[in-house]
Amino acid sequence: MHVRRQNDCCEYYMGGSKLVEETLEKDLGVWISADMKCSQQCRHAVNKANKVLGMIKMTITYKGSEDNVKPL
């Protein structure tokens, strides 16, 4: 991944084949894009939070739907 505006963007080779340039990379749990914008990091954080919230909602709905519970 080439970061910064004035990077010469060299091509790198390994074993005679050109390496593919990545535009998005995850490092220490943080998504970094080549344009240094945080939109991908925010998108991944929102998706993860929605998954957790969905699991919590399913758990609460499941425990609250018991029909055989008798009032005191």
| Range 24-31, long-range pairs (CB < 8 A, 24+ positions) | 25/1
Residue 50: predicted pLDDT = 92
Residue type, 36: M
Which residues are bridge partners to 18 per DSSP? 13
Rounded to the nearest 10 degrees, how much is the dihedral formed by the CA atoms of 47, 50, 52, 53? 170
Dump pLDDT digits (tens) for 8-67: 667 888 999 988 877 888 888 888 887 778 888 888 889 999 999 888 887 776 665 555
Instruction: Return d(Cα 38, Cα 13) in angstroms, integer.
Output: 29
Q: What's the confidence (pLDDT) of residue 32? A: 81
Count Cβ atoms below 10 Å from residue 45 Cβ, excluding itself.
Answer: 13
**Who wins on pLDDT, 58 or 1?**
58
